[in-house]
């Protein structure tokens, strides 16, 4: 009888992404416990982690952390494949797409606050687009748009300021491999 | 790294004015929620402005086609010679009305507050 062994080599990058994703998932869970006056208005604390990953390890790593957060967050909150999960996924997708473009903004003039605000608008934009197409008639959404936009602006700014403070006091982990570093925007 | 840069302030200002403009657009004025369709002065249909629908209303010249989309409504086609009510386009605000006088059909948007008690044509 032969025993087949499947080996899955784990790189330092994988471990780091797993660690950062765990951090983002933890923040997602903590945030889910906070009461919110309007469904969908949340601080988006996990975006702090996504933004830090983007600035320190590049967009690919940020996309991994974001995807794992949405998936595992849905699993842990019991909303996997429920509407809330898809809204979360749509928000993360649009937010990542916005960041994919926004990271090319010259870093001399545009810091983490810009990225955070743009990502926050991307997040709520993606969610509302899916809600409008899928769940609610668009007319009912129009009245709520200012609430969501204000929340995105406020929380995006606050998260960006937090990222700015954290980058000022921390240095990237030294175990970076070249392929992850490629295309990285250094904080 | 520890201070806001010029671009950041630009992004914040742009986003801020975007939010203000969005608020004025969404909350300013009285966006209607009901459509009242009249033919020859009689109300023939009262419909919600939440769902997309189309109506065909008969008049002395022919059929007027009315189109409702979420949040707005218009006269899509009308046999009137000057097409004034069709050219008005989409109506969104409470109190707005499109009148196809030759065909005696009118489309009016109603909201929470009525702009006028009554309109005489």
For residue A136, the model assigns a pLDDT of 78
Question: Angle at the Cα of A65 (from A60 to A70), degrees rounded to 5?
Answer: 125
For residue A98, the model assigns a pLDDT of 96
Is the residue at B119 inside a domain? no
**Nearest-CA distance from B6 to chain A in Å?**
5
**Nearest-CA distance from A152 to chain B in Å?**
10
- Report residues of chain B scoring pLDDT below 70: 1-2, 114-115, 119-121
Q: In degrees rounded to 5, what are phi and psi of residue B21?
A: -60, -40
Q: How far apart are CA A35 and CA B2, in angstroms?
A: 32
**Nearest-CA distance from A72 to chain B in Å?**
31
> B110 or A136, which is more confident?
B110
Domain that holds residue B3: 1-29
Looking at the 3D structure of chain A, how many domains does it have?
Answer: 1
- B7, B18, B27: residue with CB nearest A109: B7
Contact B12 A113 (CB under 8 A): yes
For residue B64, the model assigns a pLDDT of 94
Same domain? B20 vs B61: no
The number of CA neighbours under 13 Å toward the Cβ of A114 is: 23
Contact A113 B8 (CB under 8 A): yes
Q: Residue A3 above 60 pLDDT? A: yes
Closest residue of chain A to B21, computed from CA coordinates: A146
Contact A149 B4 (CB under 8 A): no
For residue B9, the model assigns a pLDDT of 93
Is the residue at B118 inside a domain? no
For residue B30, the model assigns a pLDDT of 74
Q: Residue A63 above 60 pLDDT? A: yes
Same domain? B44 vs B102: yes
Confidence of residue A6 (pLDDT cuts 50, 70, 90): confident
Mutation target among B18, B19, B109 for the A interface, most CBs of A within 10 A: B19
A67-78 pLDDT per residue, tens:
999 999 999 999
Same domain? B18 vs B54: no
Same domain? B5 vs B20: yes
* pLDDT averaged over every residue in chain A: 87
For residue B121, the model assigns a pLDDT of 62
Is the residue at B52 inside a domain? yes
For residue A186, the model assigns a pLDDT of 44
- Express as a percent the part of chain A with pLDDT over 70: 88
Confidence of residue A150 (pLDDT cuts 50, 70, 90): very high
Is the residue at B11 inside a domain? yes
Looking at the 3D structure of chain B, how many domains does it have?
Answer: 2
Q: Residue A177 above 50 pLDDT? A: no
Residue B112 contacts residue B27 (beta carbons within 8 Å): no
Q: Residue A187 above 50 pLDDT? A: no
> A29 or A181, which is more confident?
A29
What CATH number does residue B76 fall under?
2.60.320.10
> A166 or A38, which is more confident?
A166
Domain that holds residue A112: 12-181
Between A135-139, A149-153, B69-73, the lowest mean confidence (pLDDT) is in A135-139
What CATH number does residue A160 fall under?
1.10.1760.20
* Those residues with Cβ within 8 angstroms of residue B4's Cβ, 6 or more apart along the chain or in another chain: A111, A113, A164, B12
Residue A51 contacts residue A115 (beta carbons within 8 Å): yes
For residue B36, the model assigns a pLDDT of 92
Mean pLDDT, rounded, for A130-147: 83
Confidence of residue A184 (pLDDT cuts 50, 70, 90): very low
């Amino acid at each position: 009888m032969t025993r087949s062994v499947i080996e899955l080599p784990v790189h330092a990058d994988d471990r780091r992404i797993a660690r950062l994703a765990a951090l983002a998932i933890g923040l997602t869970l903590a945030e889910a416990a906070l009461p919110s006056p309007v469904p969908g208005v949340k601080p988006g604390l996990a975006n702090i982690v996504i933004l830090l990953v983007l600035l320190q390890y590049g967009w690919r790593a940020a996309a991994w952390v974001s995807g794992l957060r949405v998936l595992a967050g849905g699993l842990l909150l019991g909303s996997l494949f429920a509407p809330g999960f898809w809204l979360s996924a749509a928000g993360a997708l649009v937010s990542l797409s916005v960041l994919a473009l926004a990271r090319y903004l010259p870093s001399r003039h545009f810091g983490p606050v810009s990225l955070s605000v743009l990502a926050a608008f991307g997040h709520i934009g993606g969610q509302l687009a899916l809600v409008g197409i899928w769940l609610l008639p668009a007319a009912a959404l129009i009245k709520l748009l200012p609430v969501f936009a204000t929340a995105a602006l406020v929380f995006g700014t606050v998260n960006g300021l937090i990222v700015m403070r954290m980058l000022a006091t921390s240095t990237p982990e030294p175990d970076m491999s070249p392929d992850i570093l490629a295309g990285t925007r250094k904080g | 790294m520890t201070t806001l840069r010029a671009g950041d302030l630009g992004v914040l200002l742009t986003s801020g004015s975007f939010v203000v403009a969005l608020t004025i657009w969404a909350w300013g004025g009285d966006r209607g929620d009901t459509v009242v369709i009249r033919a020859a002065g009689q109300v023939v249909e009262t419909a919600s402005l939440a769902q997309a629908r189309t109506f065909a209303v008969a008049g002395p010249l022919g059929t007027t086609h009315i189109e409702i989309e979420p949040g707005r409504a218009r006269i899509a086609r009308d046999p009137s010679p000057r097409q004034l009510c069709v050219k008005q386009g989409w109506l969104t605000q409470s109190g707005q009305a499109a009148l196809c006088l030759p065909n005696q059909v009118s489309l009016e948007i109603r909201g929470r507050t009525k702009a006028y008690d009554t309109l005489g044509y």
